[in-house]
Amino acid sequence: MTRATCEVLVVGGGPAGIAAASRAAELGARTLLVDEGLALGGQIWRASHVGHRAGAARRWVGRLARSGAAVRSSTSVIDIDSARDRFRVVGDAQGDVISIDTATIVLATGARELFLPFPGWTLPNVFGVGGGQALMKSGMPVRGKRVVVAGTGPLVLAVAASFASHGARVQAMAEQAPRARVARFAARLWRTPLRAGQAMALRARIATTRYLTGTWVTRAQGSSRVESVTLTDGRSSRAIECDILCTAFGLLPNVELPRLAGCAVGAGSVLVDDRQATSVDGIYCAGEPTGIGGVELSLVEGEIAGTTAAGASASPRLLAARARLRRDAEVLTSTFAPRPELLHLANDDTIACRCEDVRLGELDRAWTFRQAKLYTRIGMGPCQGRICASALECLWGWPREGPRPPIQPARVAALLAAADENPVT
Amino acid sequence: MKATVEISVNGRPVRVDHGSTVAAALLAAGETAFRISESGEARAPLCGMGTCYECRVTIDGVEQRRACLVSVRPGMRVVAGPERR
């Protein structure tokens, strides 16, 4: 058991967390950042296992290092308790338990991919879009592999380009959003200098035969691993042979930890005020958990949250940048909203809960998620419903249940050590 | 030249780039069954970032570790798929 004390605890080491911790430490607050990943950067700034960081990622990681904030990687937060005016946060650091006493918390828990079940989605070598990218950056070899990327948003192109640059043969890039909407988005993006690169990529790709707009996955086939994927544009379907399928249906804020801490959530995102303060005194939230907005918005929100958590006021420049970036984010969200067809890909035999192997046909739409859990064990495996409950919220409108500690599966020794620290009286 | 690390996967030696995760190492070794699911299906990573728990394997005797969140170390023993109890 390790103990730590700080004034500002930042949970999450992506852009929002890095910006928050940097600002708080620069303002003189004793700051600790904990992150579940192996290295700082979160998903968007994940460093290649052999490469070096560049651009904004390099600048911010350097700034954090100079700020004086302490960093602990490979640490999963499993519980948050409040005691008097302070918080006690328990983390599981790959077996070692850390108990952190802090005055304020900035939650920068990022986002995950939304996965909707379709026949064949449990086959090996079917990855998320960001998931495929993450595995490649962690050392998965892809040279010569036939890859199909099917998803939504600018990530599809970025990930396909990344696979191609590592020697993979990209067979198709499928964007579920309709062509007209993507074209409109590309035209608008052109006017925002920050995203000119993305716009250029989109506009260049829109005319190519391998970037298929208005096209989505309907099933994957294979025996011991994926061998082909069927794509459709709603009129005709075709099967494409592949060794790797990267597919996802958008991004989803990680709100489990904020909800555990009691923060109010609306429409799937943590509710924050102008200072990035949540409904819980002393807890701030920044980046994707407050609504999907991308790296620039995450940085700005992180700076604001870190500033206010350290007791200062954010500059008008930051507040103006946040307002502008939030407007951009709304356009992004509406352009790439999942089409209704995606809610009907699964059949009765399709697995809904991958942890417990519960098939969609075993569930009754009239149930609540709680009833479904009791009858079928859905959502009771180690992912704690992060995949299946999120999918069923989209498919059937089942509200997700409030999380309970430990928020990640933890070893009994960790739970015992944590309980010793805070005995039930 | 890239530094490499040797680990064992189900008793078989596998050499991978230094800095790889265990998940990437297993994929590099052609392993498609990280774990066997409740109904007997072979499963491998989905999310690549610690959310889905599909990449659970036994690492140096410790069960249920997320292979995507652990870096390879020389001599590491990984047990995956049907070999796992």
Q: Chain A within 8 Å of B32 (Cβ-Cβ)? A: yes
Q: Using 50, 70 and 90 to split pLDDT, how confident is the model at A425? A: very low
Q: Chain A within 8 Å of B61 (Cβ-Cβ)? A: no
Name the residue of chain A whose CA is nearest to B34's CA.
Answer: A124
Q: How many domains does chain B have?
A: 1
> How far away is chain B from the Cα of A201, in angstroms, using its nearest Cα?
25
The residue count for chain B: 85
Give A159's contacts in chain B (Cβ within 8 Å).
none
Rounded mean pLDDT of A374-397? 96
pLDDT digits 0-9 by tens, B42-79: 999 999 999 999 999 999 999 999 999 999 999 999 99
The identity of residue A216, as a single letter, is: W
Q: Are A331 and A187 in contact (CB under 8 A)?
A: no
Q: Are A127 and A226 in contact (CB under 8 A)?
A: no
Q: Judge if ipTM > 0.90.
A: yes
Domain that holds residue B17: 4-83
A→B interface, C-beta within 8 Å: 36-38, 43, 49-50, 74, 76, 94-95, 112-113, 115, 122, 124-128, 130-135, 138-141, 224-225, 354-357, 381-383, 386-387, 409
In B1-85, DSSP assigns E strands to 4-9, 12-17, 35-36, 42-43, 56-59, 62-66, 77-79
The identity of residue A263, as a single letter, is: C
Q: How many CB pairs under 8 A join A and B?
A: 121
Indicate the SS3 state at residue A386: coil
Residues in a beta bridge with A33: A10, A71
pLDDT digits 0-9 by tens, A20-64: 999 999 999 999 999 999 999 999 999 887 777 888 999 999 999
Domains of chain A with CATH codes: 2-112+252-333 (3.50.50.60), 117-248 (3.50.50.60), 346-396 (no CATH)
For B42, the closest of A124, A128, A355 (CB atoms) is A124
In A261-334, DSSP assigns E strands to 265-266, 269-270, 283-285
What contacts A189, CB < 8 A, 6 or more positions away? A195, A196, A198, A199, A202
**CATH number of the domain to which B68 belongs:** 3.10.20.440
